[in-house]
Amino acid sequence: VAKARGSGQVEVFDEDASHRSRDRLDLRAELLLARSRGQLHLAYQPIFALDSRAIVAFEALLRWTHPHHGTVPPDVFIPLAEETGAIVEIGQWVLAQACRQLAQWHRLPEGRGLGMSVNLSPVQLHQPQAAERTLDVIRAAGLHPADIWLEITEHSYLRHEVTEYAGALGAAGVHLVLDDFGTAYSNLSYLKRLPIEILKIDKSFVSGVTGPGGGHLDLSIVRAILAIADSLGLVAIAEGIETEDQRAALRALGCRLGQGYLLSRPLPAAQAGLLLRPQSQMPARAHRVG
């Protein structure tokens, strides 16, 4: 419906855009309260060894269940949380929650050696004392820093704080992951400046490794990323594996770790825990990363 403005003008165009921006403002405000209202929770997606199908870690993925809009995807609400700064508090909560969950799984015999990977927003890294606060949360859960993998996708230029944060955490034993590797948001200079140990091959390349036509290009890119990882002594994880052919192709290329809907979707904690039961995987969790 066109709206009459005070000037007598009738605003007929851009109605969708103004709806969208009003929705965004509402969401921004509601997001500030979402955590205290118990609307946030984590889903856990396993990271598998592609050969043995053993689970080596879980990635914690944030979920927001909005009372009217239902599940709001993180690609929508994380940028809003970054704009308001709410991501700092939310990010601390995500880390604490993921650490508590991992500590619980570590108490099971089949959870021993399991890692937990947590996504970080660049905004979190720019906070004073960010590294100390991160390590405090990990230790408060009774974990060792080496149990935790932190995923970074920098959207902006590399700031001094980021280098410091990554340096301090790397020195403490935390495993640093460069997420979405190969996309605009992560590039080779990070590998030079930060103590990265793990590269996540973006799903946009993984989805093409077996496809017809364009498949050739993605295959070459994945092969090149694996060669970079290999020559720098890094571990590669393929993300977004959806078919058995993709898994087989990645294995044949020498990629050791992977995650994706083929292997498991992100799951609520209780269901994720069931995957750890001995009958649902090969006996040995052969390796920890790093």
Q: Which is nearer to Mg ion, 184 or 274 (CB)?
A: 184
CB of 11 to ligand C2E, least distance (A): 34
Report which residue type is found at 257: L
Interface with ligand C2E (CB under 6 A), residue from 92, 97, 119, 186: 119
Give yes or no for residue 121 binding ligand C2E (CB under 6 A): yes
CB of 31 to Mg ion, least distance (A): 19
Handedness of CA 160, 162, 168, 173 (dihedral sign): negative
- Alpha carbons within 13 angstroms on the beta-carbon side of residue 274 total 6
Give yes or no for residue 203 binding ligand C2E (CB under 6 A): yes
Give yes or no for residue 45 binding ligand C2E (CB under 6 A): yes
Report which residue type is found at 287: H
CB of 237 to Mg ion, least distance (A): 9
Give yes or no for residue 92 binding ligand C2E (CB under 6 A): no
Q: Which of residues 130-189 bind ligand C2E (CB under 6 A)?
A: 151, 179-180
> In angstroms, rounded to a whole number, what is the distance separating the alpha carbons of residues 80 and 105?
32
Long-range pairs of 277-282 with CB within 8 A, sequence gap ≥ 24: 277/110, 278/110, 281/52, 281/53, 281/54, 281/55, 282/52, 282/53, 282/54
Instruction: Find which of Mg ion, ligand C2E, none residue 147 binds, CB within 5 to 8 Å per kind.
Output: none
> In angstroms, rounded to a whole number, what is the distance separating the alpha carbons of residues 113 and 105?
10
Q: Which is nearer to ligand C2E, 178 or 226 (CB)?
A: 178
Give yes or no for residue 261 binding ligand C2E (CB under 6 A): yes
> In angstroms, rounded to a whole number, what is the distance separating the alpha carbons of residues 93 and 87?
9
Q: How far, in Å, are 12, 88, 134, 283 from residue 18 at the CA level?
A: 11, 28, 39, 56
CB of 93 to ligand C2E, least distance (A): 9
Q: Which is nearer to Mg ion, 27 or 206 (CB)?
A: 206
Instruction: Find which of Mg ion, ligand C2E, none residue 62 binds, CB within 5 to 8 Å per kind.
Output: ligand C2E
Give yes or no for residue 94 binding ligand C2E (CB under 6 A): yes
Instruction: Find which of Mg ion, ligand C2E, none residue 74 binds, CB within 5 to 8 Å per kind.
Output: ligand C2E
Three-class secondary structure of residue 261 per DSSP: coil
Q: Give the other-Cβ count within 10 Å of 165's Cβ.
A: 26
Judged by CB under 6 A, the number of residues near ligand C2E is 24
Report which residue type is found at 92: Q
Judge contact between 189 and 97, C-beta under 8 A: no
DSSP character at residue 69: T
Residues that bind Mg ion (CB under 5 A): 119, 151, 179-180, 239
Report which residue type is found at 194: L
Among the listed ranges 26-34, 100-108, 117-125, 129-137, the one in contact with ligand C2E (CB under 6 A) is 117-125
> In angstroms, rounded to a whole number, what is the distance separating the alpha carbons of residues 31 and 53?
37
Q: Which is nearer to Mg ion, 110 or 226 (CB)?
A: 226
Give yes or no for residue 75 binding ligand C2E (CB under 6 A): yes
Q: Which is nearer to Mg ion, 78 or 137 (CB)?
A: 78
> What residues make contact with ligand C2E under the rule CB under 6 A?
45, 61-62, 73-75, 78, 91, 94, 119-121, 151, 179-180, 203, 239-242, 259-261, 266
